[in-house]
């Protein structure tokens, strides 16, 4: 019996033709997940009786309840744009295909690891209630529909740590979507503040980067992560306790009305030694 859920991950499909995915990223504070397969049976009759009976699954509806979905993750899941820290919704928004992975806990303490392939999330309903004498907690919900891949119609894979044939995947399940083993994915910047192309940035701005996975602290240095505005800007670079959040603090105010470039060298790696793609984030101060 399942009694809990944790470690919710999503990977965005980056190539629909070959059905490959970006590296998975984690969504924190999952509280509940609901799985509703759409199943049916088709009968073929002959001689006044059922001769053949074929069952099928057309799609699987997945409903996520999360304490709070960060805006940048909502935008990523729903194909929306962000500008100046705001989500911009348009009637042309096209949610990307994603894969969804999670770990469920059983009553005996063992785990079930799951991946659902190829789904799209839909814009959620919005509900709000006035505050009464007793506060009512209102989390976020988002629903997606998942179906089989075109290559082999697979829609799900899972591993149960109670199975006699179980091979330990606890440390690798969320590294990639289709294999779930090995760690060869390329880390990338999931979010930056300020974001690439932002203008009107305060000259007192502290720069924050959030990576999609845990990074090697030894590579998070002011040698491999640099800030320049024509000339180098002296900064202090620190990796947070989550090993994903990097803070770059200029040692003095930035030059006003000036374009700045934050550069990340390929020497920056995740804990498995996989290097990032060389990245520049450009912003302009007020």
pLDDT averaged per 10 residues in sequence order, the chain, 286 residues: 85 87 89 82 56 62 87 88 83 91 90 92 65 54 88 83 81 75 67 92 95 90 93 95 94 96 92 85 95
Domain termination residue (choose one: 139, 160, 181): 160
Residue 230 covered by a domain: yes
CATH of the domain at 216: 2.60.40.1220
Residue 71 covered by a domain: yes
Contact 107, 117 (CB under 8 A): no
Verify that 145 and 13 share a domain, yes or no.
yes
Verify that 13 and 134 share a domain, yes or no.
yes
Residue 279 covered by a domain: yes
Pairing outcome for strands 20-21 and 2-15: antiparallel
**Structural domain boundaries, residue 52:** 2-160
Output the pLDDT for position 180: 44
Output the pLDDT for position 224: 93
* Stated pTM of the model: 0.58
Q: What is the rounded CA–CA span in Å between residue 237 and residue 215?
A: 13
Structure tokens that stand for 121 in this block: 């999330």
Verify that 23 and 132 share a domain, yes or no.
yes
Q: What is the rounded CA–CA span in Å between residue 133 and residue 151?
A: 55
Output the pLDDT for position 198: 92
Verify that 140 and 200 share a domain, yes or no.
no
Verify that 137 and 67 share a domain, yes or no.
yes
Output the pLDDT for position 55: 53
Q: What is the rounded CA–CA span in Å between residue 88 and residue 71?
A: 10
Verify that 149 and 200 share a domain, yes or no.
no
> Does residue 214 have a cis peptide bond before it, meaning omega lies within 30 degrees of 0?
no
Output the pLDDT for position 81: 86
């Amino acid at each position: 019996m399942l009694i809990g859920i944790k470690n919710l991950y999503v990977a965005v499909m980056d190539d629909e033709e070959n059905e490959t995915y970006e590296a998975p990223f984690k969504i924190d504070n999952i509280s509940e997940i609901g799985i509703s397969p759409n199943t049916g049976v088709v009968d073929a009759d002959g001689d006044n009786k059922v001769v053949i009976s074929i069952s099928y699954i057309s799609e699987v509806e997945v409903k996520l309840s999360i304490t709070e979905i960060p805006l940048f993750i909502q935008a990523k899941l729903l194909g929306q744009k962000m500008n100046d820290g705001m989500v911009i919704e348009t009637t042309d928004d096209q949610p990307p295909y994603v894969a969804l992975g999670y770990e469920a806990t059983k009553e005996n303490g063992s785990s079930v690891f799951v991946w659902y392939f190829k789904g799209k999330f839909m814009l959620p309903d919005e509900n709000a209630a006035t505050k009464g004498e007793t506060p009512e907690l209102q989390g976020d919900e988002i629903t997606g529909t998942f179906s089989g891949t075109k290559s082999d119609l697979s829609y799900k894979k899972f591993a149960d740590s109670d199975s006699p044939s179980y091979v330990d995947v606890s440390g690798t399940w969320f590294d990639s979507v289709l294999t779930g083993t090995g760690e060869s994915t390329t880390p990338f910047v999931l979010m930056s503040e300020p974001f690439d192309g932002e203008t009107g940035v305060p000259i007192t701005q502290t720069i924050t980067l959030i990576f999609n996975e845990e990074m090697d602290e030894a590579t998070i240095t002011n040698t491999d992560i640099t800030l320049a505005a024509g000339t180098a800007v002296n900064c202090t670079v620190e990796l947070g306790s989550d090993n994903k959040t990097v803070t770059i603090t200029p040692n003095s105010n930035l030059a006003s009305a000036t374009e700045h470039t934050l550069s990340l060298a390929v020497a920056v790696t995740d804990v498995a030694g996989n290097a990032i793609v060389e990245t520049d984030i450009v912003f302009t101060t007020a």
